[in-house]
Amino acid sequence: MEILYSVWRSKEMSDFLLNVSATMSRSRANGPGLRAVVWVQGCTIGCAGCYSSATHPHAAASLIRPSEISEWILSIPDIEGITFSGGEPFEQAAAVLETIRAIKEEKGPDFSVFVFTGFELEVLQRSEDDNVLTLLQYIDILSAGPYDYKLRDQKLLWRGSRNQSLHFLTKRHSSDQIEEWITDSPIEEIMIRPDSLEFTGFVGQKSQMLKVAQEITSRREMEV
């Protein structure tokens, strides 16, 4: 499997930019504990039935300096880590790596890193890109593998289909904690704000909870 890398730079051509699709400041559905989430824009894998198909095109969404993303994450109190999803984070490995390094400089090694990828771990480990290999060294837990809608299973922890795997790349966490996480981590989350609706999880766009939340939001807009 080949990896297509998208490198966005600022107008000054001195900084990498992270192409961001969406962010969430607090989530319990995307890794251990309470954590911030960044969904990157762009994924060439394009799994059929992907919950986040809108993040597949490698078109500029919000191009943000890693320093700005890291400052935002550092400003959020009482979170234990950051999760990168997408889109495909490893197709923007340089910018994701720069973001994590900036966070680690302030938070230290105890701030955990979780990454969702559609690539198998073995593919990433064979990469000739130093940014990919170095990024792997910063990740505590990797949820890896392409989504296969034929193997979809909502009972899985932080995975959408049975072919996907959780890899514990550091000693911070282990598979012994999975039963605890299954209890603590919701399968989906919805945050209804006055001007927006944020949805994340592993049920997908067919979620009944999402439909109810969208109806509530529509009623609010009609009342305004």
- CATH code for position 17: 3.20.20.70
Start-to-end Cα distance in the chain: 50
Based on the domain organization, do 152 and 205 belong to the same domain? no
- Do residues 112 and 210 share a domain? no
The whole-chain average pLDDT of the chain stands at 86
Lowest mean pLDDT among 40-49, 60-69, 70-79, 188-197: 188-197
Same domain, yes or no: 98 and 193: no
Q: Which pLDDT tens digit goes with each residue over 154-186? A: 889 999 999 999 999 999 999 999 999 988 888
pLDDT for 106: 94
Parent domain of 71: 8-186
Residue whose token pair is 């950051």: 82
Beta carbons within 8 Å of 38's beta carbon, 6+ residues apart: 18, 20, 22, 23, 69, 82, 83, 84, 85, 99
* Closest of 67, 54, 48, 55 to residue 91, by C-alpha: 55
Does 97 share its domain with 194? no
pTM: 0.84
The residue ranking higher by pLDDT, 50 or 64, is 64
Co-location of 153 and 198 in the same domain? no
